[in-house]
Amino acid sequence: MRLLLISNSTNPGEGYLEYPKIYIRDFLGEKAKNAIFIPYAAVTFSYEEYEEKVNARFAEIGHHVTSIHRFINPVEAIENADAIVVGGGNTWQLVKILQEKGLMKVIRKKVKKETPYIGWSAGSNIACPTLRTTNDMPIVQPEKFKTLKLVPFQINPHYLDDSPANHAGETREARIQEFITINREITVVGLREGTMLLLEGKELVLMGNRKARIFKYGEEPLELSNEDDFSFLLN
C-alpha cells in the first residue's frame, strides 16, 4: 500500500495545505492523476467550497481533485480513481457518511490494490482500525466505530503535549493512556502538527521536523523522529 497520513492541514501563519503540499507532490508524482476527493468531514461549509480550497493548493503542485459528491455513482468513482484524498474536519461525520454510502469497504479494497491514499486530520484517523482516537466531538452517531484499518495502529492527529492555559482537565496523553488501558493490544501514535506518516509497501517513516510519541500499554511512551524506522508498528 501507499499511504500519506498527515496530522493537520495548516500550520499557524500559513495557508491551507501550505506545509504538506511538497510532500503531497512527491507522493503523487509529476504525472497528473484522476484523484477523488472525499469532503464528507466538512460541517460548516459546503463540499463545493472544500473542493475549491483543496484544488487551489493542488494546482500549485500540478494536480487536481474532483469531489466525490459530483458523481452519481460514488462507488464507481472510487473504483476508477488513480488516487484517493480524504480531507479533515469532523471524523464522526466523515465516518457516518462513508458508512451510509457503503464506501468503507470499497476504499479499503482499492487502497489495498496500491491506489495512493492521502488523508489529513480526520482523513488520517480513518486509516486506522477505529475512529476512537479522534479529538472531535461526536456531533453525529455512525453505525459503528470501525474504519478502514489500512494500518494496525491508531493515530491521534494534532497531538499536543500540554493542556491549554487555565485548563485543569486531562492532557492528551492522559486520554490516550485511558484508551490503551482499555485497548491493551493497540498502539497509538501521537502525531504532532507539521508531521505525517508515509507508508510505502512495508516501510513506514515519519516526515517533518517534530517527533511522534508512541503509546503502548505497560511501556513508557517512545519519542521517535524522522530518522527512526516506524515499520515495527505494522506488525
As annotated, the active-site residues are: 121, 136, 158
Non-local (6+) Cβ contacts of 153 within 8 A are 128, 186, 187, 188, 189, 233
Spatial separation of the C-alpha atoms in residues 42 and 76, rounded to whole Å: 22
Spatial separation of the C-alpha atoms in residues 197 and 202, rounded to whole Å: 13
Residue matched to cell numbers 484523484: 35
Spatial separation of the C-alpha atoms in residues 56 and 51, rounded to whole Å: 9
- The CA R_g of the chain, rounded to the nearest whole Å, is 17
First to last CA, the chain: 15
Helix ranges, the chain (H): 21-28, 47-58, 74-79, 91-100, 104-112, 122-125, 172-182
Closest among 45, 8, 1, 39 to 23, alpha carbons compared = 8
